[in-house]
Amino acid sequence: MPSAHDVLFRTLADPTRRALFERLCREGETTVGALTARAGISQPAVSKHLGILKQAGLVRDRHAGRQTHYSAQVGALAPLMDWTSQMAGFWQSRFDHLEDLLKRMDQ
Amino acid sequence: MSDAATETLSVVVEREIPHPPEKIWRALTQPHLIEEWLMKSDFKPVVGHSFNFRADWGAVDCQVRAVEPNKTLSYTWEAHGLESVVVWTLTPSSTGTHLRMEQTGFRPDQQQAYQGAKYGWPKFFATLEQVLARAE
């Protein structure tokens, strides 16, 4: 579970990628060309970011002729919304700290 | 989505800890010790006592629900839209104590929860790592 969080956080930590993802969420399916026109970076750079978003499961691509269309997969954010997986990681690390403290209390 | 948003879920973490319940109880209930492994707080082991856990990313609002020294401790835990109850159970074992934490609750507002996840937790974990680094 924590690794799924890590991937999502790492992927969305980049402001350019986050902007691309947010735009796909807002505007629906969009071509790489249309995304590039307003991204302020080159098409290869946009494609690279889209590839990373795709690896994280945040976008899906669809090829039609010479165009590649991307759409947002909002469901991929579910692990972030599931408080139980967040808290499980939280408490596991707290148990580690507690055990460290108990060892120190021995001394 | 609205069903899922109010669904009651729980998290259970259990561990065998090679220390007696009395000692773990101190770590769970004395603020200067709680701060060492969890967060700063004005906790008192008194049923009905309202207190906070505080970190630089925000606070958790709590109220003590049950206190049975060396055996059970329970408090409410409200933060980032999460309304929950934390129950600690200490059971003596041959090697020390079986420590169990169960947190049960729900998030009434998924959007708020998502904002909490997006902004609160990465910062929290970053802080946690700093604390860990200092501790070692």
More confident residue, A39 or B120: A39
The order of strands in the sheet holding A67-72 is A30-31, A67-72, A59-64
Interface test with B, best of A3, A9, A84 (most B CBs within 10 A): A84
pLDDT tens, residue by residue, B20-67: 999 999 999 999 999 999 999 999 999 999 999 998 767 899 999 999
Say whether pLDDT at B107 is over 90. Answer: no
Residues of A in contact with B103 (CB under 8 A): 87, 91
Residue ranges of chain A with per-residue pLDDT less than 50:
1-2
pLDDT value, residue A100: 94
| Cβ-defined contact of B17 to A102 (cutoff 8 Å) | yes
ipTM of the complex: 0.73
More confident residue, B11 or B67: B67
User: Average per-residue pLDDT in chain B?
Assistant: 80
pLDDT value, residue B34: 94
Say whether pLDDT at B11 is over 70. Answer: yes
pLDDT value, residue B9: 79
pTM here is 0.58
Residue in chain A closest to B115 (alpha carbons) equals: A81
Q: Yes or no: say if B120 and B58 are a contact pair by the CB < 8 Å rule.
A: yes
Long-range contacts made by residues A65-74, C-beta under 8 angstroms, separation at least 24? A67/A31, A67/A32, A67/A33, A68/A31, A68/A32, A69/A29, A69/A30, A69/A31, A70/A24, A70/A29, A70/A30, A70/A31, A70/A32, A70/A35, A71/A24, A71/A28, A71/A29, A71/A30, A72/A21, A72/A24, A72/A25, A74/A25
pLDDT value, residue B28: 95
pLDDT value, residue A1: 40
Interface test with A, best of B17, B22, B32, B36 (most A CBs within 10 A): B36
| Cβ-defined contact of A105 to B114 (cutoff 8 Å) | no
Angle at B88 between CA B85 and CA B91, to 5 degrees: 155
pLDDT tens, residue by residue, A27-51: 889 999 999 988 889 999 999 999 9
A103 C-beta neighbours (distance < 10 Å), count:
11
User: In this structure, which amino acid lies at residue B100?
Assistant: R
User: In this structure, which amino acid lies at residue B73?
Assistant: L
Shortest distance, CA A2 to any CA of chain B (angstroms): 12
Say whether pLDDT at B3 is over 70. Answer: no
Question: Pairing state of beta strands B82-93 and B72-79?
Answer: antiparallel
Say whether pLDDT at B121 is over 70. Answer: no
Q: Could you give the percent of chain B with pLDDT greater than 90? A: 58
